[in-house]
Amino acid sequence: SQQGEEDPQALSIQEGENATMNCSYKTSINNLQWYRQNSGRGLVHLILIRSNEREKHSGRLRVTLDTSKKSSSLLITASRAADTASYFCATALIQGAQKLVFGQGTRLTINP
C-alpha cells in the first residue's frame, strides 16, 4: 500500500513551542502535500512539495522531503492554540497524480 504513515499519532505541546510531525511512504511520488483538519470539518491544504524539492516554507510552516528515505516532516514554529487540529500528509503518485493517498494523521494539541 502507498498509504503514508505518520508519526507521532498524537502530540501535545505548550503554546509557543515548535511542533514536528513526520510522514513516511512506500513508493515513488510526484509530490507530497500536508493538510490540516479541524475537528468535524473539511481538510485545508497547507503546502505542496514537489519530488525534486527538498525544503519549502510558508509562514510558520517548514516542510522537508527526503525522497531517498521516502519521508517528509512538517514543522510548525511558535505554535498557537489555533494550530490545534489533525495534520495529514498525502502523496500523489507519478502515475495517476490526480489522486492522493492520505496518511493516518497526527492529532496536535496546543496547550495555552
Partner 1 sequence: DAMVIQNPRYQVTQFGKPVTLSCSQTLNHNVMYWYQQKSSQAPKLLFHYYDKDFNNEADTPDNFQSRRPNTSFCFLDIRSPGLGDAAMYLCATSALRGGYNEQFFGPGTRLTVL
**Site residues, partner 1 (CB under 8 A):** 3, 30-31, 33, 35, 40-45, 48, 50, 88, 92, 97-105, 107
Judged by beta carbon, residue 15 or residue 30, the one nearer partner 1 is 30
Minimum separation from the CB atom of position 43 to partner 1 (A) = 4
Minimum separation from the CB atom of position 14 to partner 1 (A) = 24
Chain Cα centroid distance, residue 76 = 10
Minimum separation from the CB atom of position 51 to partner 1 (A) = 11
Judged by beta carbon, residue 15 or residue 109, the one nearer partner 1 is 109
Judged by beta carbon, residue 21 or residue 100, the one nearer partner 1 is 100
DSSP string spanning 64-87?
EEETTTTEEEEEE-S--GGG-EEE
Minimum separation from the CB atom of position 78 to partner 1 (A) = 25
What is Dmax (Cα atoms) for the chain?
44
**Cell numbers placing 37:** 483538519
Q: Vertex 33, ends 28 and 38: CA angle to 5°? A: 140
Judged by beta carbon, residue 3 or residue 18, the one nearer partner 1 is 3
- Which helix (DSSP H) or strand (DSSP E) does residue 47 occupy? strand 43-50
